[in-house]
Amino acid sequence: MANTLILAYTGGTVPLLLLLMSYGQSFSQLINLDFMASEVVRAFTGSIGLLLTIPITTVAAGMLMGNSKQPRRYGSSRAR
């Protein structure tokens, strides 16, 4: 799941990289463009989301699975 999220996030930045390469402007001019500020904020919030996704889902799964009183047996083929 984490690999899928990371690949989807980086795939979303490919058009931005292509756009920046096609401008042919200096680095300082690119940094001062309006859309760069929004992309930096978008990247920052996306990174926070990626970092928090795995711990939150792990805690939620642990809370949901921890409430059962009997241990679950998966793949048991023995007849009783």
Q: Please report which confidence band the pLDDT of residue 5 belongs to, taking 50, 70 and 90 as the band edges.
A: low
Cα 75 to Cα 80: distance, rounded to the nearest angstrom: 14
pLDDT for 1 equals 58
pLDDT for 21 equals 76
3-state percent helix, strand, coil for the chain, nearest multiple of 5:
75, 0, 25
The pLDDT tens digits for 12-69 are 777 877 877 787 877 788 778 787 778 778 878 877 887 888 889 889 888 888 766 6
